[in-house]
Structure 1
């Protein structure tokens, strides 16, 4: 089985996997490629294969292998929803970093321990919000794939119906 066969068989599956290496696609340094997610403006949430690298002395070395896992770019309302979710997640990560710093900073006065507990509660809420948004992004990605499949199937059905009507009209 060639690399292109492996790549095509992975794309035909509709399940979303996270950073799995069971797909069998090999990078240029002959290692199993890892599935990553792009969060750029053009490709929010779009998955791709990348070299996971190997340990070399004091660091890692990789071959910069890159190939899209998701063949189509996100588009339409899904694209906009993914961009909005990405921006919210980034804002929440920044806010969490600020809250962590406030909790970590030692309180020299010793009288404001209730405030640090308040920050911990806010932190927990933001983590839960972040997790909920991640789940929503995955659901939107799955819905996008389902809608795309329905559109393709209905287009093929329409073409077959139209072809049948043309053939029938000639007889």
Structure 2
């Protein structure tokens, strides 16, 4: 199985006041690797020293348990859907840019308003598709967050039952 690594830019509140090696409040970032989809960890963004940043490479898991079972599979599936949507959004934005440039050229070089109007309609349709894909991406992200919270609650109940 190929291991891909990425992390999201979603930031969570560091309620445990975990600090990095620079004694700065660590960021909580979400991993989207094959081994740890949706799992959160503490990381240091570094500190500014002159014109550059020094990194202390601080790392510590926020979520104690790795995702497993049906939630693991669901997180991987949702991650892949989000990646696909992001790629589609990127492609559509490039098409919108190309059409906008073409529309400007048509407007400058041609007086035929029919061709300009068709290019504008195509741009508007692509912009609508981009908005729809952005909305879907938001919905999938919310499902992932709710799923992670559900896993935490189930694990908490399970641990409580084991201690009882």
Distance between the aligned counterparts of 2:48 and 2:12, measured in 1?
A: 19
> Among 124, 132, 139, which residue is 1:132 paired with?
139
Question: 1:86: how far off?
Answer: 0.6
Matching residue of 1:23? 16
Distance between the aligned counterparts of 2:61 and 2:150, measured in 1?
A: 19
> Among 124, 131, 150, which residue is 1:143 paired with?
150
Distance between the aligned counterparts of 1:21 and 1:87, measured in 2?
A: 27
1:89 matched to 2:121? The reply is no
Distance between the aligned counterparts of 1:152 and 1:29, measured in 2?
A: 35
Distance between the aligned counterparts of 2:126 and 2:28, measured in 1?
A: 35
Task: Give the RMSD, CA atoms, in angstroms.
Answer: 1.6
Question: 1:22: how far off?
Answer: 4.4
Distance 1:23 1:38, change over 3 A: same
Task: Could you tell me which runs of 5 or more consecutive residues in structure 1 were left unpaired when the two chains were aligned.
Answer: 1-16, 158-171
- Matched pairs, number: 141
Give TM-score scaled by structure 1 length.
Answer: 0.77
Matching residue of 2:126? 119
1:75 matched to 2:71? The reply is no
Question: 1:21: how far off?
Answer: 3.8
Question: 1:97: how far off?
Answer: 0.6
Q: Please identify the structure whose Cα radius of gyration is greater.
A: 1
Distance between the aligned counterparts of 1:134 and 1:90, measured in 2?
A: 11
Matching residue of 2:91? 98
Matching residue of 1:42? 35
Q: List 4+ stretches of structure 1 deviating above 4 A.
A: none
Q: Secondary structure at the match of 1:41?
A: coil
